[in-house]
Chains A and B, each alone.
Chain A
Amino acid sequence: MGSMYRASKTLKSSRQAFSFLFNSLKSNRRDPLCIGLYQTYDFSSDSRQSSREPAIDLTQFPSEKIRNFSIIAHIDHGKSTLADRLMELTGTIKKGLGQPQYLDKLQVERERGITVKAQTATMFYENIVKDQEASGFLLNLIDTPGHVDFSYEVSRSLSACQGALLVVDAAQGVQAQTVANFYLAFESNLTIVPVINKIDQPTADPDRVKAQLKSMFDLDTDDCLLVSAKTGLGLEHVLPAVIERIPPPSGLSDSPLRMLLFDSFFNEYKGVICYVSVVDGMLSKGDKVSFAASGQSYEVLDVGIMHPELTSTGMLLTGQVGYIVTGMRTTKEARIGDTIYRTKTTVEPLPGFKPVRHMVFSGVYPADGSDFDALDHAMEKLTCNDASVSVAKETSTALGMGFRCGFLGLLHMDVFHQRLEQEYGTQVISTIPTVPYTFEYSDGSKLQVQNPAALPSSPKYRVTASWEPTVIATIILPSEFVGGVINLCSDRRGQQLEYTFIDAQRVFLKYQLPLREIVVDFYDELKSITSGYASFDYEDAEYQKSDLVKVDILLNGQAVDALASIVHSQKAYRVGKVLVEKLKSFIDRQMFEVMIQAAIGSKIIARDTISAMRKNVLAKCYGGDITRKKKLLEKQKEGKKRMKRVGSVDIPHEAFQQILKVS
């Protein structure tokens, strides 16, 4: 139903875009000579579209009339808002219609006000600045997420672009993700257009930001565009700069077709939608294409652009970015980074992407043990739209059947859970997140551990070595907080790699830190130490040798597998103690006394008890009126549903995820 609505909206906006582009022609829309507006093919993939509606003629846009660019920035510096303004300016979306941050379509994105998934929009723009004669440009904009967890989305988006708008908040200046994303674009040889945004803010200091861009990235201060995506100030310079500075795609139009598959998602009605960027050659509806990595071939049933909704065009030409529909059933067949080519031709595969690296793993279990099938179904569907999660079935004695999932970070994990709940209506229990460890035993065997429960508490062979993953972290902060942050990093077993001044007030720190130490609450701590003025980014680094132990949690002597964790031996006692305390605060009094213990192997390192419940008696049922008491009992019963029973101890669902706040 949503798509029907969108389909009609799309048509309206495309028509409007073209009347803007070609208004000088003033011709009848049905006139076959009217470029861009005559019917090139019927919209077979979307029967709702009437065949009398105009279509877009992409042949108008050879490579030199195309610009592909991403918008990259630190979190909240205004990427999505800038995208809104550019789409309005080009008539791609109607001004004042639709919600702000138009491209943030997911409910999670709207609720959290962040971008989680990169989104592409094709815009048509008549550049009147330089060209004498009216000449239309086709611009592909990709709005990217700012949060570190989703930086792989940025890399993928950049691979479909020749340039990037590097947006920097005029008051906050260069932040950690600004640095990280700048280097991603720089290393991909993209042209960078610096855009200083939010100049309407009273605290805006564009000159300082210009100086930072100069000193850190050697970007020319004269090249910086000053804008306010909020008020529209300075916005008219953005697209001309894109056209002038960013080179057109350099693909060969007469070479055989070669496309990069840079994203995919599952659409209820059309099946799998593949986002592609045409590197060489051209593609038409009905063509047969093959996927290099999967070796599968398909017929192209529909092809078009995101304008910003899916809009059929019947073809895609060299340098253009769009979508194809092939009747593929699951996104598993569409491996992101794959090369697509015309069947029966031979092409050199494109470099593709580094495989995503999962930073944290956690168990996902149905909140109601009997609902495994529902969860299984939801996982299947959601992973079709979030290929960055790794999923493997696992079983827990405490929680039953579930999945071990690998995530890009905690925000990604949170977003995934929220989407499971909101988009598929499944209630889940997630277990304490863990990072992947490696253990070596005296017999020379090695064990990769993504679930602490899988590490034997009393192994057959002695553990001779263990390794944990590390990251290289970038922290940018006002200099007055440096002392506190250095203490924090050394408490987290970090090693300082760099300490430089960006300008008089701001410091740039680089640390190597164990991933485990930053995964849970590092950023919160950092923010509280620096009153929110620090920004933080990290990239994965190599594994390092470390003295690791497994801490088991026992309830009345029985180990609860879902509560086990792996920690550095020096921190084991502290962690054990805090875990026991936390758990005590979550578990209500039971009919029996409950003993909570933390143990390394057979050694108890912390313990506490919850005394037995004494009284929970039914009150008088006066005059035979039992309704109220019954309601109370029903409520108590419902409360029990939010519990997992381990032995005879009821543990509330929240406990499994809340105790992760212990590190």
Chain B
Amino acid sequence: MLKTTISPIFSSFTGKPRTSRFIFKAFKVVLQDAPPSARRNASTNLTTLHQGPPTSAYVHLPFCRKRCHYCDFPILALGTSSSSSTKPSYVYEEGKEDDPRITNYVNLLVREIKATSTDFDARPSLETVFFGGGTPSLVPPKLVSLVLETLSSSFGLSPDAEISMEMDPGTFGAQKLKELMELGVNRVSLGVQAFQDELLKACGRAHGVSEVYEAIKLVKDCGVKNWSMDLISSLPHQSLDMWEESLRLAIESQPNHVSVYDLQVEQGTKFGNLYTPGQSPLPSETQSAEFYKTASSMLRGAGYEHYEVSSYSRDGFKCRHNLIYWKNKPFYAFGLGSASYVGGLRFSRPRRLKEYTSYVADLEKGAANWCGNGDVNLKDVATDIIMLSFRTSKGLEVKDFGEAFGSEVVKSICRVYEPYVESGHIVCLDDMRREVLSGEFKTLVANDEVKIEDHVRYLRLSDPDGFLLSNELISLAFNVIAS
């Protein structure tokens, strides 16, 4: 039953409606059958959401003083600068940062942006730009300015665009921060991670707690209203006391946004070689679940809204850029190893500088493609939406989902989720975001006549129990989509 109703819906169609034409042109190949255009489905639906022109851009600035022990991102470690021998290497000194490696990289990045020409009918300006890394704050403001100018001339930059930058304590001073703000950077994401020197050291962070306090003071003194603090839980040797202290100090410093990440021990990292998840000195599964719950209750208690698995915000200071991800909307990405989502296709740039350099050259020659190849598979779109929506407190919009992928799929997902609604891992909400109780939900699911979407508007994971088991719960829905 399910199979037959799903299969016609989950067929694939050729993606990148607008951009592919450009690429074909570049190859001087006559495009025979024009793929369906975004205009055909004028009413934007979940299945076509990603078809439109992106209004967000992620820019990767990969430089770091050194690699942190848990990090497996594409970064370029600059090492200790010999000129500042009197002070510890991580102490920031104004004006000593004209590293040719940075200049060369930014030039390459600018070439990449310029070589990215799109063919969308509409050309809306960028609404969000996110400088991630690496440690973007290591890049001199004049180079950041160059990137922003390039983005602006290529895509347009909305006057009230959110421009975020990740900054690490000890990598910027007041002057640099002011310059950056003048350039338009209006959101700072401060990589604090912990408030204990021994933990910062054990992670291989290039700063200590005193730099953290300095940085917080700088951000506040410079009048950055929209700033976020990053913290990491489940670090080796981290105790619940330490974690509570970090959370307390974070709250005291009053950021408008806090991101809490649970340490992932990745293969090939120093931590990956040293430690096994769940085993000492890393906290046990139960302990790290406790850390997560503590963060949720302390931050919520302090007036933060837990709007996404690892994000908390006050007074509506959600990260607009990240919301684009969770809504499965398209975004550009530029720079080493960055991943874009345009025309329904996810595409990752080379992670090594050498390959990235030749990629940019190819792009300029028209010999490479900047948004990926292949067909958009609707099953993938459906699973992306499930996985991303469930990260948010808003949850999955069941109604939109049903319209896009069929009511039967919604029913099947609900059937699978029934025990978890009963156990409280999943919360059902109606149009007014009032909770639909598990007894009622059960009756709805059991009744074949009922269209669930008429009664349940959202499904969301509960906070913290559902969020804690999100992998488990999401993969259950994946199973439904796959069958």
Taking each of A624, A629, A630, A633, which has the highest tally of chain B beta carbons within 10 Å of its own beta carbon?
A624
Closest beta carbon of chain B to A615's beta carbon, Å: 4
Binds B, one of A209-217, A487-495, A636-644: A636-644
Binds A, one of B18-26, B380-388, B400-408: B380-388
Binds A, one of B87-95, B153-161, B449-457, B466-474: B466-474
CB interface residues, B 413-431, toward A, < 8 Å = 419-420, 423, 425
* In the bound complex, CA of A259 to CA of B285 (Å): 71
The reply to whether B325 and A621 form a contact with Cβ atoms under 8 Å apart is yes
| Contact residues in B for A617 (Cβ distance below 8 Å) | 262, 292, 309, 467-471
Assess whether B107 is interfacial by the CB under 8 Å rule. Answer: no
Assess whether B58 is interfacial by the CB under 8 Å rule. Answer: yes
* In the bound complex, CA of A211 to CA of B436 (Å): 86
The reply to whether A619 and B261 form a contact with Cβ atoms under 8 Å apart is yes
| Contact residues in A for B341 (Cβ distance below 8 Å) | 624
Closest beta carbon of chain A to B217's beta carbon, Å: 27
Interface band, chain B: 35 or more
Cross-chain contact of B472 among A616, A623, A634, A641 (Cβ < 8 A): A616
Assess whether B442 is interfacial by the CB under 8 Å rule. Answer: no
Closest beta carbon of chain B to A628's beta carbon, Å: 9
Assess whether B195 is interfacial by the CB under 8 Å rule. Answer: no
Closest beta carbon of chain A to B127's beta carbon, Å: 15
CB interface residues, B 292-317, toward A, < 8 Å = 292, 309-310
| Contact residues in A for B141 (Cβ distance below 8 Å) | none
* In the bound complex, CA of A615 to CA of B325 (Å): 23
Binds A, one of B177-185, B357-365, B475-483: B475-483
Assess whether B288 is interfacial by the CB under 8 Å rule. Answer: yes
| Contact residues in A for B473 (Cβ distance below 8 Å) | 591
| Contact residues in A for B483 (Cβ distance below 8 Å) | 370
| Contact residues in A for B482 (Cβ distance below 8 Å) | 637
Assess whether A592 is interfacial by the CB under 8 Å rule. Answer: yes
The reply to whether B471 and A616 form a contact with Cβ atoms under 8 Å apart is yes
Assess whether B132 is interfacial by the CB under 8 Å rule. Answer: yes
Closest beta carbon of chain A to B235's beta carbon, Å: 14
Assess whether B7 is interfacial by the CB under 8 Å rule. Answer: no
The reply to whether A640 and B476 form a contact with Cβ atoms under 8 Å apart is yes
* In the bound complex, CA of A141 to CA of B472 (Å): 60
Binds A, one of B37-45, B111-119, B246-254, B331-339: B331-339
Closest beta carbon of chain B to A660's beta carbon, Å: 28
CB interface residues, A 633-655, toward B, < 8 Å = 633-634, 636-637, 639-641, 648
| Contact residues in A for B383 (Cβ distance below 8 Å) | 630, 633
* In the bound complex, CA of A634 to CA of B384 (Å): 11
The reply to whether A637 and B468 form a contact with Cβ atoms under 8 Å apart is no
Known: A592-B423, A615-B288, A630-B384. A623 touches B309 (CB 8 A): no
| Contact residues in A for B340 (Cβ distance below 8 Å) | 624
Query: Which of chain B's residues has its CB closest to A627's CB?
Result: B346
Assess whether B83 is interfacial by the CB under 8 Å rule. Answer: no
Assess whether A25 is interfacial by the CB under 8 Å rule. Answer: no
| Contact residues in B for A615 (Cβ distance below 8 Å) | 262, 285-286, 288-289, 292, 468-469
| Contact residues in B for A619 (Cβ distance below 8 Å) | 261-262, 264
Assess whether A625 is interfacial by the CB under 8 Å rule. Answer: yes
| Contact residues in A for B288 (Cβ distance below 8 Å) | 614-615
Known: A615-B288, A616-B472, A620-B261. A591 touches B423 (CB 8 A): yes
* In the bound complex, CA of A616 to CA of B277 (Å): 12
| Contact residues in B for A616 (Cβ distance below 8 Å) | 468-472
Assess whether A618 is interfacial by the CB under 8 Å rule. Answer: yes
* In the bound complex, CA of A415 to CA of B401 (Å): 47
| Contact residues in A for B130 (Cβ distance below 8 Å) | 623
Closest beta carbon of chain B to A636's beta carbon, Å: 4
Assess whether A622 is interfacial by the CB under 8 Å rule. Answer: yes
The reply to whether B471 and A633 form a contact with Cβ atoms under 8 Å apart is yes
The reply to whether B474 and A618 form a contact with Cβ atoms under 8 Å apart is yes
The reply to whether A623 and B420 form a contact with Cβ atoms under 8 Å apart is no
Closest beta carbon of chain A to B467's beta carbon, Å: 7
Closest beta carbon of chain A to B294's beta carbon, Å: 13
Closest beta carbon of chain B to A633's beta carbon, Å: 5
* In the bound complex, CA of A619 to CA of B309 (Å): 9
CB-CB contacts of A327-354 with B at 8 A, as 1s and 0s?
0000000000000000000000000000
The reply to whether A625 and B262 form a contact with Cβ atoms under 8 Å apart is no
Closest beta carbon of chain A to B393's beta carbon, Å: 14
Assess whether A632 is interfacial by the CB under 8 Å rule. Answer: yes
Taking each of A619, A637, A641, which has the highest tally of chain B beta carbons within 10 Å of its own beta carbon?
A637
| Contact residues in B for A639 (Cβ distance below 8 Å) | 475
The reply to whether B286 and A614 form a contact with Cβ atoms under 8 Å apart is yes
CB interface residues, B 368-390, toward A, < 8 Å = 383-384, 387-388
Assess whether A34 is interfacial by the CB under 8 Å rule. Answer: no
Assess whether B60 is interfacial by the CB under 8 Å rule. Answer: yes
Known: A591-B420, A623-B60. A614 touches B285 (CB 8 A): yes
| Contact residues in A for B420 (Cβ distance below 8 Å) | 591
The reply to whether B348 and A618 form a contact with Cβ atoms under 8 Å apart is no
Cross-chain contact of A626 among B286, B384, B469 (Cβ < 8 A): B384
| Contact residues in A for B356 (Cβ distance below 8 Å) | none
Cross-chain contact of B339 among A591, A592, A623, A633 (Cβ < 8 A): A623
Interface CB pairs A-B, < 8 A, 29: A370-B483, A591-B473, A613-B469, A613-B472, A614-B285, A614-B288, A614-B289, A615-B285, A615-B292, A616-B471, A617-B292, A617-B309, A618-B309, A618-B387, A620-B261, A621-B391, A622-B73, A623-B58, A623-B339, A624-B333, A625-B338, A626-B388, A629-B387, A630-B383, A633-B474, A634-B475, A640-B479, A641-B479, A648-B419
> Which 10 pairs show the lowest CB-CB distances between chains A and B?
A614-B289, A625-B339, A615-B289, A636-B475, A637-B478, A616-B471, A637-B475, A648-B419, A624-B325, A619-B264
User: A625-B348, A630-B383, A634-B478 known; 13 other A-B pairs, CB under 8 Å?
Assistant: A613-B285, A614-B288, A615-B288, A617-B292, A617-B471, A618-B309, A624-B340, A624-B341, A626-B387, A627-B348, A630-B387, A636-B472, A637-B478
